[in-house]
Amino acid sequence: MTIAIIYGGTRQNGNTETLTEHAVQGIVAEKIYLRDHTIQPIVDMRHSEDGFQDRNDDYNSLIDRILPHDILIFATPIYWYSMSGTMKNVIDRWSQTLRDPKYPDFKNKMASKKAFVIAVGGDNPTIKGLPMIQQFQHIFDFMGIEFGGYILGKGNKPEDVLQDKEALFAASQLNLQLKG
């Protein structure tokens, strides 16, 4: 069982990263920092004759790094009560990959994976982050991905999340689970 982490935050060593590193301590994982990559928004060409065009950015290379792994961790700060716009752009592009002849097995491969969400926010995340969790549930359901669970941490300033004992404990439990 191998793991890929998709980091949606824009700040190095942000709270989401701190919490996620806690969850994967001692485990090898492919870590994808979206902030280091250029990802274009989708251009919806589903109903155009020409179909989708190559966007000439880093998106496909990220998909290539994600696909080999069994477990995906979506680690995002809660920006405005959901995942970061950058992470949303990655997921929006899945609509293109689902129709991309270069990835004929995209949905099947994704459907064999298990996903976790780790998200830290400053404004009452265990309540106001719930629509985001429900959104992820719909996303995973559509793709056939098993939703393994989520951790909602509280934090604003760097290292705040280290005070969130429940989130840290949940991360330790996830660590044990990932170590199998």
Candidates 1, 2, 25, 41: give the one binding a second copy (CB under 8 A): 41
| The binder of a second copy chosen from 99, 102, 138, 179 (CB under 8 A) | 138
Of 114, 116, 125, 123, nearest in space to 166 by CA: 125
> Taking the CB of residue 157, how many other CB atoms lie within 10 A of it?
8
Options 18-26, 56-64, 66-74, 78-86: segment touching a second copy (CB under 8 A): 78-86
Pick 2 or 13: Cβ nearer a second copy: 13
**Does 84 sit near a second copy (CB under 8 A)?**
yes
> Among 65, 74, 83, 81, which Cα is nearest to 174's?
74
Sole window of 24-32, 34-42, 55-63, 97-105 interacting with a second copy (rule: CB under 8 A): 34-42
Taking CB under 8 A as the rule, does residue 133 contact a second copy? Answer: yes
47 binds a second copy (CB under 8 A): yes
Least distance from a second copy to the Cβ atom of residue 99, Å: 14
Query: Which residues, 6 or more positions from 90, have their beta carbon under 8 angstroms from its beta carbon?
Result: 6, 34, 39, 59, 62
Query: Which of 23-31, 57-65, 105-113, 125-133 is the region at the interface with a second copy (rule: CB under 8 A)?
Result: 125-133
Residue 56 engages a second copy in binding (rule: CB under 8 A):
no
Q: Does 18 bind a second copy (CB under 8 A)?
A: no
Q: Which stretch binds a second copy (CB under 8 A): 22-30, 62-70, 92-100, 106-114?
A: 92-100
